[in-house]
């Protein structure tokens, strides 16, 4: 099953309407996105909690790393650069952190609040190589922007 992003966006908008609690929003987005696509093996947020440090937030799937410095891994690169990281083969990514040995490809999107401040990153791992496309990144970025611009 592939994500129907139009339906996913409408569902998330409906479920999160009026909510401003960051963790509640993260938990809802994670759940809905995780169950929308068979490619999504691990789905969740890493929250920016200190300068140059991400800590695990709401997620679905196996365990995640508890903390990730901005200087390491795909999530750290997204936080550090503010750019989407679309990684077809995690083994080829310099400094990749293997939180789960099953991960083959990864999509990580920076998440900003309404003031433009980085509040974390949204991480999707797949046990399939080259699982993600620029289209996935664009649709998910739009969903994240709509949800988190109100906080």
Question: pLDDT tens-digit profile of 39-98?
Answer: 999 999 999 999 999 999 999 999 999 999 999 999 999 999 999 999 999 999 988 887
- Domains of the chain are 5-148 (3.30.450.40)
Dihedral sign, CA of 100, 135, 83, 7?
A: negative
pTM: 0.97
Q: What is the pLDDT of residues 5-37, one digit of tens each?
A: 999 999 999 999 999 999 999 999 999 999 999
Task: Output helix, strand, coil percentages for the chain, rounded to the nearest 5.
Answer: 35, 25, 40
């Amino acid at each position: 099953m592939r994500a129907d992003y139009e339906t996913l966006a409408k569902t998330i908008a409906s479920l999160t309407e009026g909510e401003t609690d960051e963790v509640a929003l993260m938990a809802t987005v994670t759940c809905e996105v995780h169950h929308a696509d068979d490619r999504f093996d691990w789905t969740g947020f890493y929250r920016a909690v200190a300068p140059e440090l991400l800590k695990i937030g709401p997620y679905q799937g196996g365990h995640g790393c508890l903390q990730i410095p901005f200087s390491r891994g795909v999530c750290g690169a997204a936080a550090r650069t503010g750019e989407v990281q679309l990684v077809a083969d995690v083994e080829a990514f310099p400094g990749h952190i293997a939180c789960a040995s099953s991960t083959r490809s990864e999509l990580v999107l920076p998440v900003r609040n309404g003031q433009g401040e980085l509040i974390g990153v949204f991480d999707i791992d797949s046990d399939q190589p080259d699982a993600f496309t620029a289209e996935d990144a664009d649709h998910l970025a739009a969903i994240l922007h709509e949800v988190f611009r109100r906080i």
